[in-house]
Amino acid sequence: MRKKIPTITRPDPAYAATLQQGDREIPGKEDEAQVTATKTGTPATDVDADRHEPELVPGGTVAPHQVTAESSDPHTSLRAPVSARALSPTRKIDIRVNALERQEAALETCGVEPAHVVRAALRRAVKGWQLSPVFAPVAEERRTRNTQWQARTSLAVDAASLGVLLRDHDPLDVLSKWALIRGQVEPRIWGEIDKILEEIAVRAASPHEP
């Protein structure tokens, strides 16, 4: 014969205490919190609060799972600061420079194409040069009439300094921009031509030196 299982006709408090129905309080939960508070010295209300509040992160730190806009872009934090000189606006000016008449003989006998010497002098003269807002008058030196030796290029100058020169010496903006900076550039180029001719002469006098 099968053993007849007795039917439960009344609620079992011990079994009901182990079940959690939605948001209803579970019998015995307050007692458990009270026991925990007694052991740790923390008020029972704080124990319940710790169960529901998220972990707080100290100010100025970022949790491991959080990503800020700055840290998400690797190029933002690794980008080198841009210098103020690179940010300053510039303006291009077409320039044309001739050698001097007093340099003609040395240019013709130096053994190097004179036009190459003038262009090399131009590159040296403008390397690292910055336009000054102080106007320099055009030199009265006699320039060679040989246009084949002329060096022509465009030069980027500081727009702020050029603006000062325009304001003080050409407020109507009728002159060429080359006329405003010519007094600063030409003497530097002529000086570099003299240096190059001297270097060529020294090498020619000592052909065995490396």
Tell me: the pLDDT tens digits for 115-151? 999 999 999 999 999 999 999 999 999 999 998 888 9
User: 55: Cβ–Cβ under 8 A, 6 or more apart, which residues?
Assistant: none
- The domain spans of the chain are 90-205
Model's pTM, two decimal places? Answer: 0.57
Question: Nearest Cα to 46, choosing from 34, 29, 31?
Answer: 34
Higher pLDDT, 94 or 3: 94
